[in-house]
Structure formats: C-alpha cells, structure tokens
Amino acid sequence: MTAHPHTPDLFALSEIHGPVLRPGDPAYPDEVTGFNLASLHTPDVAIGATGPDDVVTAMRWARATRTPVAVQATGHGANYPIEHGLLINTSRMTDVDVDPTTRTATIAAGAKWSHVMAAAAPHGLAGLCGTSTDAGVVGYTLGGGLPVLGRAYGYAADLVRSFQVVTPDGHLHESDPQAEPELFWALRGGKGNVGIVTSLVTELLPVPRLYGGGLHWHAEHTETLLRTWTDWTGTVPDEMCSMFSVLRLPPIPQIPEPLRGGFWARVAIAWPGDPAEGEALIAPLRAAAPVAVDLVGDMAYTDLDRIHMEPQDPLPARECCILLRDLTPDALDAFLEQVGPGAGAEHPLLAASLRHMGGALARPSAVEDAVCSRDAGYFMESVGIMPAPPVAEAVEQATRRLHTAMAPYGTGRTMVNIHGTPGDEQDRARAWTPEVYARLRHDKSVYDPDNLLRYGHAVTPA
C-alpha cells in the first residue's frame, strides 16, 4: 500500500477527464465532502470521475500502486472517515435513460433518485427510492435499498436487471443473471465489496401517485399512538407502508412551522392504492388521539420527500439501526423508556423510528441476492445531529443505550446502508447472515484478493 503517493505516481491518472486533486488543492475540500458532515475525508488523491473510462483508469492505477480505494456519490452514507488512499467521486455521472416500453431505467453511478423521478414521471413511472430523493441510487441499491413503498414492492435491489461494474483488476464488466451471475448476486445487497458500479439498469413501476404523508401528535400521546400503531400494523394489507417516529425537532429555519422546535409522535404513511381506501385504512390512527398536524393526502410520486421530510442540506449525523423480530409489550416499554416523553424534551436524539417490515420485504427476490433482512418484522433506526463535541458524545451515549435496550428483541442483524459507523469485522458482519457473509468473503477473494475496496462496511477476503 502506498499511504502517501508521491507526485510521479500520479502520471497515469493524467488520462482521467475529470479533476485529479491532492490535499492543498483549492477544489479538494469540495471534492471529498459528502452529505454527512460527521466524517472528514482526507484521501491522498481524489478524482472526479466523468464516466466509466475514468473509473477504469483510476482502478488500474490503484492496483499498480496497491492504493486502497473508496467511492462516493452523494455521501449520505459517509459514516466513517476515508483516510489516505484514493477517493473516486462519481457525482458528475448523473445520466438517466428511461425506456417506457420496457419500463426500465439505465442510471449512472452518481445519479440521485430525484434525477430518476424527473426522467420517469413523464411516463407515469417511478423507481423504488428511499425516504430522501437526494440520496444516490447506486450506493442505496447496492445495500439492498429499503424503499418508502417497500412492503408493497420489495427492495430496490430486487428490481435490478444488470450492472456495469469495474472490478479491482481494472476491468469493466456487464453483469446480470446470465453473465457473471455471482458478481450480480454480490452486488445486490453486498454493498461495494466486489467492484465500483458505473451504471445499473432497474425496473420501474407504474406508480404516478400515492396517498401519503405524516400524522403528528403532541408528545403526551406518544405511548397511546405507539401501542395503537403496533396493533394496527397487524391488520393492514401488504401495500400499506408506515413508520412510527418520536421526533425532537430543533428550532431551525429548515424545519417548517408548526413542527419547528416541537416534540412529536409521528406516523408516516405511504399507500400506492386508491386514496379513499387509504384514508379508511388509517382512520384508527386518526381516532386514537387528537391529531395536531395532518399532512396526509393524495400526492404525486415526485413529492415523496413530503412523507418523511428528511433534511435536504448537509449536516453531521449519527445513525444506527437494528432489525427486530416483533414489537412485544416489553419491546415497546423498552423503546418508550429510552426515547419517550419520560426521557425528557432535551433528549439528544433527533429521531427514533420503528418501521413496519414484512409484506413484499419478506418475500424472496425472483433472482437470488445478498439482502438479509427479509425475516424482520420491524426495523428500528435512530438519528442524532452532532454539531459540537459535547453534543456528539451525548448522541453517541444515547444511541448506545437505545440499541442495547432493544437488542433482546432483535434478530442480531442490521441493514448495511443504515448500519452507521462501521466497527470491527464482527460488527460489520451483522448486516448479513453467516452463510451470506461467508459467500461474500469468498467472492471478495475472487474479485478483490488484495482488499483494495477496504473502506467502510467492507468484508475481508476469505
């Protein structure tokens, strides 16, 4: 490994069409900074890839110099610092080509879900994006991709038809169920362990509109709503997608009134069927306690960000998740003890959420993949904002307490995209079953025996 490549080593990178930057270059900070500002990236070299040829050139240079490689598009998953090595920024690669006849989209490595929506909506089509359309398509999909409409349609990885990917030996591959099926398997849920994806082809869905949004109650109704929502999730059709959250929102302009600065219980709803049927289905929630802010209604799929209202501006965040078997009364008590009203309005976590899983998320993909969260009944996620060291430590402590308290009710696993800060190898392995993890390690030894792709949630070669 070349920890600090010296200038002559960069000669081969002169063929790259995008910028090639080192620390001290004026454009370097912008090139390495992602959406999550909690981690400061300090690679020895950063390149701004403009297409697959740039990625091939960069990977061949990395292999020749034994330089470790990381890739970043939007940086929503930048939960760890990239130190030394080479960072490939794919944010310039944003092309999206929609084929309305086959209902597919070819999506370049740096495209966001907002780019896909803009291209697909004129044809009445939509992609299986997550809670923020500002997130990158490829990184999200490689980790499985948990969609807002997941119970209705499954994981984003399930809909991928093919990848174009550069493996660590510097070769460009076309991978699908017939051509290099093992590489195809590892890319769907195995994150970026076997190569850098330069584009993918995915199916689109005929979902131009949906019934969705958020129901908000004042904090004193948190327990009532949580228990009502939990019972309600056992009665709804697969197509009803929902998430319960405890929100402690800061008084900042980015949060709209009247939610700004409030302590809320919220249920976010997404229903792709008839709006009248959706309204009837959520009637028990509206009746459980007086709704303070009701933002649920018929909307265009392109307005999906209105449902979860995630931040649109970069910020320093600490996120973490755990997959749960079920929400027993004891599990609900543990959750409320940690983040309910009794924990205080000044609790440091911005949000603690429980998402209803099951439905299509529990069904196997038509083509086998590495997604390992199909046995979860629910999913818990916590998010904290860390603007300064004292607050960061409080967020870290609150995160550990919450996840320790909920661990007895979990499956023992996480989801790789929302795992949060990667720990040691045993910790990272929790994103997969032991069998899938062993298979990923085998594939890593085939495609990346030198472990060049070693940053973040990487597995080690077998």
Tell me the two tokens of residue 83.
Answer: 């130190």
To the nearest 10 degrees (0 to 180), the angle between helices 389-406 and 329-339 is: 170
- In the chain, residues under CATH classification 3.30.43.10 are 7-89
Containing H/E element for 245? Answer: strand 241-248
Confidence of residue 9 (pLDDT cuts 50, 70, 90): low
Structural fold of domain 7-89: 3.30.43
- In the chain, residues under CATH classification 3.40.462.20 are 209-418
Q: From CA 321, how far away is CA 113, in angstroms rounded?
A: 22
Sequence-distant (6+) residues with CB within 8 A of 416 are 143, 144, 189, 191, 431, 432, 457
Going by C-alpha positions, the residue among 217, 222, 218 that lies closest to residue 343 is 222
pLDDT value, residue 4: 43
- In the chain, residues under CATH classification 3.30.465.10 are 96-206+434-447
pLDDT in tens, 250-289: 888 878 889 999 999 999 999 999 999 999 999 999 999 9
Domain 96-206+434-447 has CATH 3.40.50.720: no
User: For the chain, what percent of residues have pLDDT higher than 90?
Assistant: 89
Tell me the two tokens of residue 119.
Answer: 């291209």
End-to-end CA distance of the chain: 20
217, pLDDT greater than 90: yes
Structural fold of domain 209-418: Vanillyl-alcohol Oxidase; Chain A, domain 3 (3.40.462)
Q: From CA 130, how far away is CA 132, in angstroms rounded?
A: 6
pLDDT in tens, 63-108: 999 999 999 999 998 888 999 999 999 999 999 999 999 999 999 9
